[in-house]
Structure 1
Amino acid sequence: MTALPAPVRWLAVPVALTCTVVALVGSWSSADPAVEVPQPSGRVAGYCKALAAALPQELLGHPRRDPSPASPYVAAWGGSPRTVLRCGVDRPEELNGEHAEDWSPTVDDVTWWSQKLSDGGYRFVTTMRAAYVEVTVPAGAAQNAFDPAAALTPAVKANIPG
């Protein structure tokens, strides 16, 4: 067996280390967009904190992976794409316009106004509750786009008065 030439041997370790660093740095970047954190106050903030404590660690087989920095007003499940819940959001302006009549399923006395997003996913927002809770389900995050909102309904109903 023949030994490698000296220049190849000298460069092998630095090249390997450089490749390792590039791979690690690349894995640290996130493809998920930043999540805007709501800033509720008063009773709404209290309801949202109670909801945060009641949310599951797993949603439809997806582990909970909250965005950083942590907030009691935001929770997320799955990787990419991920389902995101935000509590204490403002009332959607679309509820005043032509989208007010969009599909709004009711599960166990919690009504979820829905909006199809440009990426093929959906946004669901509770109506007729003391705080607005938004669940964003990107395309591919769930078998049926409404399943995450339906699965979160018991926690919403128990913590956000109607």
Structure 2
Amino acid sequence: MTSSHRPLGLPASAAVLLLAVTGCSTDARASVPVPTPPAAEAALCRALDRELPDAVAGQERSDPAPDSELTAGWGDGAIVLRCGVPRPEKMSDPQAEGVSAEGVRWMLEQPEGGGPRFTSVYRETYVEVTLGERYAHDIGPLVDLAAPVQRAVPCALEPSCR
């Protein structure tokens, strides 16, 4: 009985080569879920996307995957913005913490295993900004995002915000 492993070995090595090549061509961008807001809120988010800066907190814009006008990013995932997100449950908590940056108010959440997450309040759609752990005690990115949010996303409760 003769046995040859060559026919089976050749396809296996070809499969390994294919996996290696495919692995090298993957998209290195951060990946985030794209919100699905109602049409009026999506229009505000598209307007916000046009206002967003090329750099935030010294980080260059590097949008997450998949491409969407409802998401933006800077610094390969260090700062991620999602527009038109659902109202967070925590907003009903009277003990929820908040901050104000350049006239825009944000609710603070601290998810486990990551940096802080801020969601705008008193706006016609919710804007969420997630920061990497290095920004655990730094709202500098929110300062850079305040003017675009003010220009594109109107206040829902005048005169609560400007």
TM-score, normalised by the number of residues in structure 2: 0.75
RMSD, matched Cα: 2.4
Q: 1:31 to 1:133 in 2, by over 3 A?
A: closer
Q: Structure 1 residues 51, 29: CA separation in 2 closer, same or farther (over 3 Å shift)?
A: closer
CA gap of 1:68–1:29, structure 2 versus 1, over 3 A, is: closer
Q: State the SS of the aligned residue for 2:120.
A: strand
* 2:70/2:84 contact within 8 Å kept: yes
Question: Which deviates the most, 147-156 or 125-134?
Answer: 147-156
SS at the partner of 1:28?
A: coil
Which residue does 2:95 correspond to in 1? 101
Q: Compute the TM-score of the two structures, normalised by the length of structure 1.
A: 0.75
List runs of 5+ in structure 2 lacking aligned partners.
1-15, 156-162
Alpha-carbon distance in 2 for matches of 1:83, 1:58: 10
CA distance in 2, matches of 1:63, 1:155: 16
Structure 1 stretches (4+) deviating beyond 3 angstroms? 21-24, 26-32, 142-145
- In the TM superposition, residue 31 of structure 1 has moved relative to its aligned partner by 8.2
The total of aligned residue pairs comes to 139
2:34 aligns to what?
A: 37
Shift of the alpha carbon at 1:25?
A: 2.6
Partners of 2:34 and 2:27 in 1: how far apart? 20
SS, match of residue 155 in structure 1: helix
Contact in 1 for aligned 2:71/2:80 (Cα 8 Å): yes
* SS of residue matched to 2:98: coil
- What residue number does 2:104 align with? 110
Match among 16, 26, 29 for residue 28 of structure 1? 26
Alpha carbons 2:81, 2:129 under 8 Å: kept: yes
Shift of 1:155: 0.5
Q: How far does residue 145 in structure 1 lie from its aligned partner after superposition?
A: 3.4
The equivalent residue for 1:122 is 116
2:150 to 130, 153, 157: 157
Where 2:97 maps in the other structure, the secondary structure is coil
- C-alpha contact (below 8 Å) 2:116/2:130 kept by paired residues: yes
SS at the partner of 2:84?
A: strand
Task: Judge conservation of contact 2:123–2:153 (CA < 8 Å) in 1.
Answer: yes
Please, which runs of 5 or more residues in structure 1 have no aligned partner? 1-17
